Amino acid sequence: MKLAVFGRTGQLATELQRRAPAGVEVTALGRNAADFADPGMVREAAASLEADAIVNAVAYTGVDRAETEEALATVVNGTSVGVLAEVAAERGIPLVHVSTDYVFDGSGERPWRPGDPTAPLGAYGRSKLAGEEAVRAAGGAHVILRTAWVFSAHGGNFVKTMLRIGAERAEVGVVDDQHGGPTPAADIADACVTLARALAEGAPGGTHHFAGAPDTTWADFARETFSRSGLKARVKPIPTSEFPTPARRPANSRLDCTTLTECYGIVRPDWRAGLDDVLKELGAR
């Protein structure tokens, strides 16, 4: 299978290139080939590629910055995603598009199901929801895969931030009233390949959720990171109110991943095993 990946250096795109199984030929398109700030460039790239399936791993992910750059975030996460989906539909190429828990308002304690009402709290969530709606409107074969709390040995993420801060301080304040499932980028990559193959073989698509298990808090995620890395830093649990940010974060980012297992046999990965892999890779560098 020829798999076109939009994105080259991000966490997911990196893992897709590294982990492609036998029989899957990955072509990764970076910003020089398809800058999502330029929808026309995305259209041209999508119209000329040769692929059996597409994975979109491009996103504007600056959650706080999006509050002052919503127009740009919407072009990258919404308009250009729609262009890609339209061309894919026209050419009959199935599309796997990665989205986020930020399309929900984070209320309640029950894990969010794919069909639950969306109500983003901020600009980033609104831009990602615009992308989802554009993919559905294009009418092509697709899976929208919502995920949360992504981490890897690459790029910027919570684990790498905690390792840096934990090496500098004896105590680190970490939010303890936001809940979700940390998700290794490597496992998202494997899920995307499975979904792309299924769509290419005619399986039905739709919107599904994928996050690591068990659900936890940022504070407990930090504790596990320190414990498994050997850092002696202590975690001081703090409420979100003591860590103000320009963009509001969902208090409940738990995702119900049942339909992904039922439809494609993809089960939630244990994020602690993924954390061990990431720490091992970082230690080897």
Active site residues: 124
Q: Does residue 12 contact residue 63 with C-beta atoms inside 8 Å? A: no
Task: Give the Cβ contact number of residue 40 at 10 Å.
Answer: 10
Rg (alpha carbons) of the chain, rounded to whole number = 18
| Calpha distance 145→247 (Å, rounded) | 23
